[in-house]
Amino acid sequence: MAPQLLTRGKVVIGLGANFPGAWGTPEATIAKALGEMGRANIGVAAVSPLYVTAAVGSARQPPYVNAVALLDTRLPPEALLRVLKAIERRSGRRAGRPWGPRTLDIDILDYGGQVRLWRRGRATFDEAGARPLTLPHPRVHERPFVLRPLLDIAPDWRHPALKRSARELWRQASKRGQGAVIKRL
């Protein structure tokens, strides 16, 4: 099978939650968030199974529930990001410390194969907090909790900046332990 490169309007997002919010459990919150995207005229083309994963950062937080979804949208990246952040807020998400507990976290992982703010195989702006939209996401290649569900919906996806397959990246990242996959729900 040929490597999967995303075309214009095709977007990969990551969703995660590890704290109950306005929409209930992390599992219910992810389901509701996907429904909200549909109501915002964002097509949800595919959704991975849910995975329970170890939290990154503070060890004093519950495991996350994570998924990856393939979207179909005409919104430009910044407009899509605004819609996704509004969905996070409606779920009960509040500002907090980086890598802390979340009622919902939605990240744009890849937007149509665009590369922004990458140079020589590295994201040039990747610290947590307010930051410009970096595409692909600056840490997608090192996160098992993103790569494992990505394999379920786009096994031949290639990192637009690193030119490496999801399978290769998964093999490397799964050995590191940060955000390790505990089980599939």
Q: Which residues are catalytic?
A: 93, 102, 105, 107
- Asked if residue 70 lies in contact with residue 154, where contact means CB atoms within 8 angstroms, the answer is yes
- Collapsing DSSP states into helix, strand and coil, what is residue 86? helix
Judge contact between 83 and 36, C-beta under 8 A.
no
For tokens 């955000």, name the residue: 179
Beta-bridged to residue 43, according to DSSP, are 72
Instruction: Give, for 78, the enclosing helix (H) or strand (E).
Output: helix 77-90
For residues 185 and 170, what is the distance between their CA atoms, to the nearest angstrom? 19
Q: Which residue has the tokens 């389901």?
A: 31
Q: Cβ of 154: how many Cβ atoms within 10 Å?
A: 19
